[in-house]
Amino acid sequence: MLRNERNFGSPRDRVDGRAKVTGAAQYAAEFNAPDLLHGYVVSSTIAKGRITSIDTQKALDVPGVLKVFTHDNRPATAWFSSSYQDEVAPPGTPFRPLYDEQIYYSGQPIALVVAESFDVARYAASLVEATYEAGAHETDLKLARAAAYVPPKKRQGMKPPASKGDAMAAYAKAPLRIANDYSIANEHHNPMEPHASTVIFEAGGKLTIHDKIQGVMNTQSYVSGVFGLPASDIHVVSPFVGGGFGSGLRPQYQLFLAVMAALDLKRSVRVEMTRDQMFTFTHRPETINTVLLGADKTGRLSALRHQAVAVTSRFEDYQEVVVNWSGILYDAENKQFDYRIAKVDTYTPGDMRAPGAPLGTFAIESAMDELAYAGNIDPLELRLRNYSTRDETTNKEFTSKELRACFQLGAEKFGWSRRSPAPRSMREGRELIGWGMASGCWEAQFSKTSAKAVLTSDGRLEVGTATADIGTGTYTILTQIGADALGLDMEQVTAKLADTTLPKSPVEGGSWTAASAGTAVQMACEALKKTLLQEAQKIEGSPLADAKYEDVVFANGRIAMADDAGRSLDLSDVVRHSGQSEIEEQATAQPDSKVQAQYAAYTHSAVFVEVRVDEQLGLVRIPRIVNAVAAGRIINPKTARSQVTGGTVWGIGMALHEESLTDHNLGRFMNHNLAEYHVPANADIYDIDVIFVPEEDDKVSPIGVKGLGEIGIVATPAAIANAIFHATGKRIRELPITIDKVL
Ligand code: MOS
C-alpha cells in the first residue's frame, strides 16, 4: 500500500478533544426530545427467590407518573418467545428484565416507574413495595467452587490450551518448586458516564436510540431481536462514550426497559442508571488461580500447571482467558491447564479491560517471582531463561514478539541493574523500598470491519465506520489515516463513528479497533483514490489521461503525476466534473485466514515498579512505573501513551484499591458507590513512563498495527505485588493488597 505518512506515527491532539472538554459532545443521556419521559428502575433487595406481590399504587398516585411496569403488567415482546443473544453474549440464556417473578440476583430490576420528570420518577420509585419469598442464595466463590465445572459451550477462542507431558510428575522431581493460590476480588467497571438510553419514539413507530454502548450495531440487532422490529426501523446514534472498559459491550437492562416503555406508551423515554445501579450488572469475576511451577536449579521450567476458577451467574456461562497466558509466555516441557466456572447468585460477569489477562498474569508472574527468590535468580533473568519463541498453546509462530526489547529498554530506563536482590534491603527513612517487575501479553486481534471514504465537492474527506470511540482516540487515528491516504491536512478530514447508517463494524473492544477500522479506512481511501483517478481521466483534455494508478500521487488536495507535478488536477474539480455531489467508496477489511492459520499475534509488555511502603502504617506508594510495550506500529504516540498510562493506573487500582465487597448474608455488593469502591485518585499516581518498543510486523494487520487499549493493565498488578514483596518480604497473593494485608 502506498504510504504517505505525514500523520501516521506522529503525536496528534484528539480531534474530538475540544468537543469533549467544552460540553459540546453529547452522551446518551444528553439527547433530548419533545415531551421526553423518564424511567427510574426499582431494584430487588433479595438475591434469590420470587416476588410474591408488588404494590405500585402509591407510586401511581404521584402526580406526573404515567405507568409502573412490573412482571405483572409488562407488555409481551418478541423477546419472550425467542432466544436472542447479543453480539457479545456468553453461552446461556440472557437475563430478561421483568420477565417473571423470579429473582436471580440482588439489585435485579423489578419495576420501571415512568413519569414526566426524572425527580418524580425517582420519588415514585421509592414508594413501590415488593414482598418476596426468599430462597437460599450463594455468592461466595470459596464455597461455590466445589461445584465448579468446565464450561460445556466455549466462548469463541476461550479454550484452555492442551496439556503437554506430565506436569505433576515433573513437579515431583523438580529441585525448585512453587505451588500457591492467587486470587482477585470481584471488581466493577466505573466509567465516568453511567449507562443510559434515550429512546426517541418517532411517528410510525420508528426509533432513534442514543445508547451507552461500545458498538451501535449491537444495540440495533439487540432491539431488533428482542422486540421483533425490523432493523431498518431502529437508528442508533451514540457518537460519544464516557468510558466503556467492557461495560458497554453488551446492551444492559436500561436499554430494554427504555425501549419497552417507549413502544408501550408511544412516547420518547430515557432511562439512566444511578451510580449505585452501575453495580447491578456486569463486573469482573472473582477468580482464584492455582499455579504450580517446577524448575531445575538454574530456574529452567520443567513443570507448569495453571488452574483457575471464576464466578458466573446462574443463567449464563461467562468465560474469559485466564490460564492460557502462562503457556504463551513460557516454555516448559510439561504443562497443564484447567479453567472452570462456578455459579453464584449475581448478575453475569462481563469483559473488563483485558478480560482475564491481568488475573492469570497476576498468578503466573507472582509465581515466577517466587521461583526467582527460591532459586536466587534475578527475576528478569529468570524470564529470559524461560522465554517462549513460539506460541505453544496454539503451536504457531508469532507474527512478531519484541518482549526481549521491552525487557531491555524497560530495565535500562528503570535502572533495574542497580537493584539490591534481597527483600527488605532497600530503605529510606521509615519507608521500605521495593523494586519488582512482571511481563504480559494480550492478543492482537483483527475483526471484520467495513468503512467508507467520501470526497465532497469542496475537497474535504469524510471517513466513517459504525464502531465507537470509547475514549481511545479512534476519531483521531482514523482522521490521521484518511489524511495521509488522500494527502490532505487533518483539518480537511472528518471521521464519523457510532451510527447504524455507517458501514458495519463490530463493537469497539478487544484492542482490535485501531488495526481493523484503521485498515478498513485505509482500504476505503485506496478505493476512493482509484475512482478519483478514473473520474479525473474522464475530464476532457485531462493531464492524467494516460496515467496508471501507480504513477500518481495524492498531495495538497491534488492528484499529480509522481514524476511531473505540473500534470495535476484539483480533487474538488474532479468531484465537480463527475456530475455527483460527492464520490464515495466502501471497503471491508478482514483477517487473512492464511496468516491466522500459521501465526499467533500478541502485544507484549514488561512493567517495572518501585514501591515505597510505610512500615508502621502499611501504606503503599508507587513513585514510579516504567511500562515498556511492543504493539506493532504506533499510529499516534500521544493517544497511544494515554491508553497505556490509563491501563497502568487501572493496574494500580487492581493491585491496591479495587474490590466489590459482598455481604454473603445478604448476597449483595455493599460498597456500591465511588466513596467506598476505591479507585486510584490523582494523589495515588506519580511517574508513569511508557516506552513503545520498535516492532515491525507485516503480518498482524496490513497497517502493521496491533492495538494497545488493554496491554497497559495486564502485567501491572503482578509487578506491584512483586515490588511489595521485595520491599517488605511479605508475599501477598490476594488482590487488592490493602493495608491490613501489608501490615
Ligand atoms: Mo474491552 S474489555 O473488549 O471493552
Q: Give ipTM to 2 decimals.
A: 0.98
447-590 CATH: 3.30.365.10
C-alpha cell at 57: 399504587
593-611: pLDDT as tens digits = 999 999 999 999 999 999 9
Sign of dihedral through CA atoms 322, 324, 330, 333? positive
Domain ranges of the chain: 31-136+192-243+248-279, 144-187+283-445+597-742, 447-590
Question: What's the average model confidence in pLDDT over 488-506?
Answer: 98
Q: What's the 635 CA to ligand 1 centre distance in angstroms?
A: 20
Confirm or reject: Cβ of 225 under 6 Å from ligand 1: no
Confirm or reject: Cβ of 525 under 6 Å from ligand 1: no
Confirm or reject: Cβ of 471 under 6 Å from ligand 1: no
Q: Which atom of ligand 1 is nearest to the CA of 352?
A: 2
- CA–CA separation, 347 and 285 (whole Å): 10
- In this predicted structure, what is the pLDDT of residue 4? 62
Q: Which residues of 160-189 are buried (b: 16+ CB within 10 A; e: fewer)?
A: bbeebeebeebbeebebbbeeebbbbbbbb
Confirm or reject: Cβ of 355 under 6 Å from ligand 1: yes
Confirm or reject: Cβ of 727 under 6 Å from ligand 1: no
Whose alpha carbon is nearest atom 4 of ligand 1? 246
392, 615, 710, 734: which one is catalytic?
Answer: 710
The pairing of strands 431-443 and 334-343 is unpaired
| Most ligand 1 atoms within 8 A of CB, residue of 88, 218, 249 to mutate | 249
Which residue, among 485, 508, 517, 472, has the nearest Cα to 17 in the 3D structure? 472
Which residue, among 467, 594, 452, 466, has the nearest Cα to 523 in the 3D structure? 452
Q: What's the 249 CA to ligand 1 centre distance in angstroms?
A: 7
Q: What's the 573 CA to ligand 1 centre distance in angstroms?
A: 43
Three-state DSSP class for residue 53: strand
Question: What's the average model confidence in pLDDT over 469-482?
Answer: 98
Assess whether the region 144-187+283-445+597-742 and the region 447-590 belong to the same CATH fold.
yes
Confirm or reject: Cβ of 509 under 6 Å from ligand 1: yes
Q: Under CATH, what is the fold of the domain 144-187+283-445+597-742?
A: Aldehyde Oxidoreductase; domain 4 (3.30.365)
The pairing of strands 301-312 and 334-343 is parallel
pTM of the model as a whole: 0.97
For residues 164 and 335, is the Cβ–Cβ distance under 8 A? yes
Confirm or reject: Cβ of 517 under 6 Å from ligand 1: no
Confirm or reject: Cβ of 311 under 6 Å from ligand 1: no
174-188: pLDDT as tens digits = 999 999 999 999 999
Q: What's the 269 CA to ligand 1 centre distance in angstroms?
A: 28
**Does the annotation count 129 as an active-site position?**
no
- CA–CA separation, 458 and 622 (whole Å): 52
Q: How far is CA 692 from the centre of its chain?
A: 20
Q: What's the 246 CA to ligand 1 centre distance in angstroms?
A: 4
Question: What is the chain's mean pLDDT, rounded?
Answer: 97
- In this predicted structure, what is the pLDDT of residue 1? 41
| Order of strands across the sheet that contains 461-465 | 493-497, 461-465, 449-456, 582-589
- In this predicted structure, what is the pLDDT of residue 544? 97
Q: What's the 34 CA to ligand 1 centre distance in angstroms?
A: 35
- CA–CA separation, 712 and 188 (whole Å): 18
- In this predicted structure, what is the pLDDT of residue 358? 98
**CATH number among 3.30.420.40, 3.30.950.10, 3.90.1170.50, 3.40.50.300, domain 31-136+192-243+248-279:** 3.90.1170.50
